Structure 1
Amino acid sequence: MCNLSRRNALGLLAGVSTLAFGLPQTARADAAPVDLPKPGPRDTCPVCGMFVARYPEWIATVVFADGMAFHFDGPKDFFKFVQDVPRYAAGRSADQITAMGVTDYYAVRQIAAAEAQFAIGSDVLGPMGHEFVPLSSDADAADFMKDHAGKRLLRFAEVPADLPAKLDEGLFE
């Protein structure tokens, strides 16, 4: 017995119809899952000081070459950290980072931050208000933007340094 979700069934139909009509398909792999250390109950975000484990659906993690992991209560603080590592982790630099993960909105699992897409300006708020909502695939991103009235969709490398602070103010440009 085959148990397909509505999204998977629609995706399968779209793929079959594309092949049937000979049209090119966009070939972009989903963001890969990553296996990173989990925060403990006393781990705090180095940016805002919140206890991270209380927000499992928003956790982001950075791991350094020496194995030290920093956890965040959401991607917004993760971006603030990554864009200015020495400010939040004295003696460390961004080039020492060996792994980065964010929690996918739909699957609620850690995915590679550099491969994720981030929706902003939606009706979904994180622990500290407006947030970057991580999504692992083009299909999920399209669904999220439609269902949650997202304003912008950005790839990891497209996030400007000033945008995390602007989200704190409810600005999306």
Structure 2
Amino acid sequence: MGRRLLAAWLLCAWMGIQAAAAAAAPPAKPGPRDTCPVCGMLVSKYPNWVAVVQWKDGHVHFFDGAKDMFKFLQDLPKYAPGHRPGDIEAILVTDFYNLRRVDARKALFVLGSDVLGPMGHELVPQADRLDAEEFLKDHKGKRIVDFGQVTPALIRQLDAD
């Protein structure tokens, strides 16, 4: 009886862990009808630029680039009324070189390069400093910033360029 109880408990624990991991994992890609809440563009047309904000309740917003994602995050009352920063589970961007989703809070972003995103001048996400410096050099970038350095003024400047 003890072994059966232990086996049942382990199975339930494993299933709970799997369910929690599945709930926390963002969808692999936006659907064909998912639009950017900032500009209204169909996000699936630009898979190399997708950014994601996932909420703790499992709801997901997809963006056609990091720039629109930052606009969204910097004005939640406008784009996501009733949501608070504390409700966010994950913020992800697509790394330029390896096209994998990375934690936006840990990523670096290159500004002023000759690479344009779907909405023009863009914050080009890089997973690490080495890639960011290489991209800056190869694509005539002007500056590398981290997540906390992206301000509304910086976004306005990108839009003005």
Query: So what's the TM-score if we normalise by structure 1?
Result: 0.77
Instruction: Name the amino acid aligned to 1:154.
Output: V
Tell me the equivalent position of 2:26: 36
Instruction: Name the amino acid aligned to 1:116.
Output: A
Q: What's the offset of the Cα at 1:138?
A: 1.2
1:1-173 map, 5 Å: 35-37=25-27, 38-170=29-161
Q: Which SS does the other structure have where 1:114 is aligned?
A: coil
Q: Which SS does the other structure have where 1:46 is aligned?
A: coil
Instruction: Name the amino acid aligned to 1:36.
Output: P
Aligned length: 137
Higher Rg: 2
Percent of matched pairs sharing the same residue: 53
**2:155 & 2:26 partners in 1: Cα distance?**
23
Could you list the runs of 4 or more consecutive aligned residues of structure 1 that deviate by over 3 angstroms after TM superposition? Answer: none
CA contact (8 A) 1:74 1:131 kept: yes
Q: Over the residues paired in the alignment, what is the CA RMSD in angstroms?
A: 1.2
Q: What's the offset of the Cα at 1:35?
A: 4.8
Q: What's the offset of the Cα at 1:161?
A: 2.2
> Any stretches of 5+ residues in structure 2 without a counterpart?
1-23
Structure richer in helix, relative to its length: 2
Q: Which SS does the other structure have where 1:162 is aligned?
A: helix
**2:160 & 2:51 partners in 1: Cα distance?**
21
> Any stretches of 5+ residues in structure 1 without a counterpart?
1-33
Q: What's the offset of the Cα at 1:94?
A: 1.7
Tell me the equivalent position of 2:20: none
Q: Once the two structures are superposed, what CA deviation does each residue of 1:88-123 show, in whole Å capped at 9, x if it has no partner?
A: 012112221110100000001100000000001000
CA contact (8 A) 1:35 1:110 kept: no
Q: What's the offset of the Cα at 1:36?
A: 2.1
Instruction: Name the amino acid aligned to 1:119.
Output: V
Higher RCO (Cα < 8 Å, 6 or more apart): 1
Q: What's the offset of the Cα at 1:80?
A: 0.3
Q: Kindly tell me: are residues 53 and 151 of structure 1, through their superposed partners in 2, closer, same or farther at Cα, counting changes over 3 Å?
A: same
